[in-house]
Amino acid sequence: MLNVPTLAELSGDLENGRTSARKIVDSCLERIADASGEGARAFIHVDAEAAIEAAEAMDRLREIKAAPSPFAGIPVSIKDLFDIRGQVTRAGSRALEDSAPAEADATVVARLRRAGFVVIGRTNMTEFAYSGIGINPHYGTPKSVWRRDVGHVPGGSSSGAAVSVADRMAHGALGTDTGGSCRIPAAFNGIVGFKPTQRRVPLTGGVPLSSTLDSFGPLARTVACCAVLDAVLAGEEIVPLRPPPIKGMRLAVPTTVALDELEDDVARTFERALETLSRQGALIERIAVPEFLDVGVMNSKGGFTAAESYAWHRYLIASHGDVYDPRVSIRIQRGEAISAADYIDLLEMRKSLIARATTRLAPYDALVMPTTANTPPRIADLADDAAFTRANMLALRNCSLINTIDGCAISLPCHREGEVPVGLMLASSGGADRRILELAAGMEAAIRV
CB neighbour list of residue 382: distance below 8 Å, 6 or more residues apart? 133, 135, 153, 388, 391
Is 255:287 a contact under the CB 8 Å cutoff? yes
Whether the Cβ atoms of residue 2 and residue 50 lie closer than 8 Å to each other: no
The SS3 assignment for 423 reads: strand
Active-site choice (11, 20, 79, 215):
79
Q: Which of the residues 77, 131, 181, 400 is marked catalytic?
A: 181
Q: How far from each other are the two terminal CA atoms of the chain, in whole angstroms?
A: 9
The neighbour count for residue 403, using CB atoms within 10 Å, is 27
Query: Of residues 157, 215, 309, 329, which has the active-site annotation?
Result: 157
CA quadruple 258, 426, 420, 398: dihedral sign: positive
Closest CA to 372 of 221, 152, 197, 203: 152
Bridge partners, residue 426, by sequence: 368, 410
Distance CA 184, CA 176 (A): 11
Q: Give the integer Cα–Cα distance in Å for 329 and 323.
A: 10
Burial 366-395 (b: 16+ CB within 10 A, else e): bbbbbbbbbbbbebeebeeeeebeebbebb
For the question of residue 144 being annotated catalytic, the response is: no
CA distance 433 to 443: 16
Q: How far apart are CA 289 and CA 276, in angstroms?
A: 24
Q: In a 10 Å sphere around its CB, with 0-12 CB exposed, 13-18 middle and 19+ buried, how is residue 44 labelled?
A: buried
79 is catalytic: yes
- Does residue 397 contact residue 425 with C-beta atoms inside 8 Å? no
Contact in structure between 402 and 184 (CB atoms under 8 Å)? no
Query: Is 181 assigned a catalytic role?
Result: yes
Residue type for 347, please? L
Residues in the chain: 449
Q: Catalytic residues, which ones?
A: 79, 157, 181
